[in-house]
Chains A and B, each alone.
Chain A
Amino acid sequence: MMRTGSLIARFATADDLLKAVRELRGRGYTKLDAYSPFPIHGMSEALCAEDARLPWLVFLCGAAGALLGYGLQYYVSVIAYPLNVGGRPLHSWPAFIPVTFETTVLLAAFGAVIGMFAMNGLPRPHHPVFDVPGFERASHDAFFVEVRADDPQFDRARTEDILRVLGAMAVHEVSRA
């Protein structure tokens, strides 16, 4: 059992942060995360953090919305409450398209928002990184990289040296949750 928590280092600029992440990846670190006040172009590629599941979830939710919306209209208009209006067919599909479209968008949007927050593990009011001194600036003008203690390359002293060589302004240990 390791007793140390992960290391978190603060960098001055977004470009320094991106450079540090790329360098750490180059040295074989895999369990990394970065914190920044705005999304940094190229960061998710550098971290290999791209998650392909979300678009699929949105697609599936949209498809479910389309089926439910159309199914509802079919059930109501053909089975539950058939109304003969001027001899028009009960299953008049072109008239069902607008509502089908709306339910598709509605469920897909819920899928995107709820899926995104759920995959991010949010809402989570508290997290150990919030205890790092100066971390409140991560939502302002500070840029952090975190090397997790369960990374195979992790070594408390050596990793800290590497972070300092890469230009970290401060290195802290994150208490374990």
Chain B
Amino acid sequence: MSTKKREVTAVVEPSPRTGHGMPAAVQAHGERGADPELLLGSHTYDSVGDRISGIVLNQRSHPFAWFAVFGIAFLFLNGMMLTITWLLYRGVGIWGINQPAGWGFDIINFVWWIGIGHAGTLISAILLLMRQQWRTSINRFAEAMTLFAVACAGLYPLLHTGRPWVAYWLFPYPNAMGIWPQFRSPLIWDVFAVSTYMTVSALFWFVGLVPDLATLRDRAKNRIARILFGIGALGWRGSARHWSRYEAAYLMLAGLSTPLVLSVHSIVSFDFAVSVLPGWHATIFPPYFVAGAIYAGFAMVLTLAIPIRAWYGLKDFITDKHLDWMAKIMLATGLIVVYGYVMEIFYGWYSGNPYEGYLIKNRLTGPYAPMFWALLVCNGVAPQILWSPRWRSSPAILFVVSLVVSVGMWLERFIIIPVSLHRDFLPSSWGMYVPTIWDWSMFVGTLGLFFFLMFLFIRFLPMISIFEMRELLHRLRARKAGEGA
């Protein structure tokens, strides 16, 4: 049966019987032909809601692992508070940055975190537009990840300014100093891109939460919980007229977020590409950065989803099928990223420019060369085991690969930023970049902040979209009824 023919029938009829050999991609595509592998077990609207809202409403249900991760994250977060205090007292000199490498961990980690955030928007917006129903059980969770990753990212440029208490100078407003921002600089584009991204991601996340907060309001036994969820639900009552506008607004937000997420990482890459530094001044940067962002983001989604679904018994909702799809996206974007590395080496040679040529030589054989080769192993070699369906279907292997990819993407930003800066045009101004203990404590601290916020979220808000899971269940039932007929 051809793909095209099946899609047409799927829209007209609630799914005729499809052959078992049909690839899952085709099955998941039709409007009503939801893939039964996306929701396992025998569930009802009631059981779906109870399973997800129970995690929030029954505060005694949390496993020891929650306290362990939360405790460690809280410890790291306190390390970050100490670091920031010392930083504000002494200034950015406590970091390893100096001439010639004025950008170090602060920018590496900014780009790393913001890239991680991008998978959330990809899952919630782009997959919604493409009608990929497997997004349903992971979108809420990934959107929260986006918000917290962007919060971690935002700290870095803020602190890197050296005087974060006057960070509002970044925004254009009439002031007594009579000065205005320079709109021809990518750095001010970045301010607008990141703050817009943070705001729109928060709006998208909140809009998605409203019907679920209404569910929690109606389920909560505790009076305070009922009042708090009631405030958040804004009086949502599930009216069909409301749902109609709600769905329209949600779709438009997805349509707006899709170019937004692509623009944000493109603009982040302009911070480098618009300069004339060898290794930065390349037109391939925007697509290469966006692919890298999605790659790192899916790695982080997997890193979080694999243990959490085991601790909370959510394997019916976040199924092996979901892990499989995410692994495939990781593999695909990983190949794009490796293509980027190869092209950079090619440009170094093909440009005929001695500075570009030297940069590549320095990258491959210079003082930081071991990091470059580690990067190739992490991002280029390790993910290739995901070609094998057997290896891919093992959550443990997938978990390890996603950690390796996260390290790889961090190394990539190290290779791009200080390695390009430390040896540019004039050998007399060359130097080395070595991060200090405060660089490391800040980085570990933002990891603490991220997991701290993430674990608060899974405890106090529904981590899977309840209403969208019910809608999926409804589609699955329609499909079953169609098959039975």
Interface of A with B (CB < 8 Å)?
14, 21, 33-41, 43-44, 47, 49-51, 54-55, 58, 62, 72-73, 76-77, 80-81, 83, 85, 88, 92, 95-96, 98-99, 101-103, 105-106, 108-110, 112-113, 115-117, 119-120, 122-127, 129-130, 135-141
Contact = CB atoms under 8 A, between A and B. Distances in A.
A37 B218 CA distance: 11
Contacts of B199: 106, 109
A82 to B, nearest CB: 10
A139 B259 contact: no
B253 interface: yes
B231 to A, nearest CB: 8
A98 B249 CA distance: 24
B253 A113 contact: yes
B243 A109 contact: no
A140 B215 contact: yes
A80 B203 CA distance: 33
Contacts of B248: 51, 54-55, 116
A102 B199 CA distance: 11
B235 A49 contact: no
A145 to B, nearest CB: 9
Contact of B196 (A21, A76, A102, A112): A102
Interface string B46-77: 10010000000000000000000000000000
A108 B468 CA distance: 24
Contact of A112 (B49, B178, B180, B253): B253
Contact of A76 (B46, B172, B203, B467): B172
Interface string B241-278: 11111111100110011011001000100100000000
Main secondary structure of the interface of A (DSSP, over half): helix
B179 interface: yes
B99 interface: no
Given A55-B248, A98-B263, A106-B200, A83 B44 contact: no
A96 to B, nearest CB: 6
A55 B256 CA distance: 12
Contacts of A99: 183, 188-189, 192
11 contacts: A35-B240, A49-B241, A76-B183, A85-B184, A96-B183, A105-B256, A123-B234, A129-B237, A139-B211, A139-B214, A139-B237
Contact of A35 (B181, B192, B239): B239
A14 B259 CA distance: 35
B207 interface: yes
A38 B472 CA distance: 10
Contacts of A119: 245
B183 A112 contact: no
Contacts of B45: 37, 140-141
B263 A101 contact: yes
A115 B218 CA distance: 25
A96 B192 CA distance: 12
B30 to A, nearest CB: 12
Contacts of A81: 178-180
A83 B182 contact: yes
Interface centre among A33, A98, A101, A129 (most CB of B within 10 A): A98
Given A37-B49, A99-B192, A139-B214, 5 more contacts: A35-B240, A40-B474, A47-B244, A51-B245, A122-B234
A77 to B, nearest CB: 5
Nearest to A143: B238
Given A73-B183, A122-B235, A44 B253 contact: no
Given A95-B183, A98-B263, A120 B242 contact: yes
A125 B235 contact: yes
A43 B211 CA distance: 17
Contacts of A33: 239-241
Contacts of B249: 54, 58, 112-113, 115-116
Contacts of B252: 54-55, 58, 108, 112
Contacts of A136: 218-219
Contacts of A137: 218
B31 to A, nearest CB: 8
Contacts of A14: 474
B203 A95 contact: no
Given A38-B474, A103-B196, A120 B468 contact: no
B483 interface: no
A37 B242 contact: no
A98 B267 CA distance: 8
Contact of B238 (A36, A55, A105): A36
B471 A39 contact: yes
B177 to A, nearest CB: 11
A105 B243 contact: no
A58 B256 CA distance: 10
B348 interface: no
A27 B192 CA distance: 54
A96 B200 CA distance: 21
A105 B203 CA distance: 12
Contacts of A77: 180, 183-184
Nearest to B264: A102
Contact of A125 (B49, B230, B256): B230
Contacts of B203: 109-110, 113
B179 A112 contact: no
B180 A47 contact: no
A52 B133 CA distance: 26
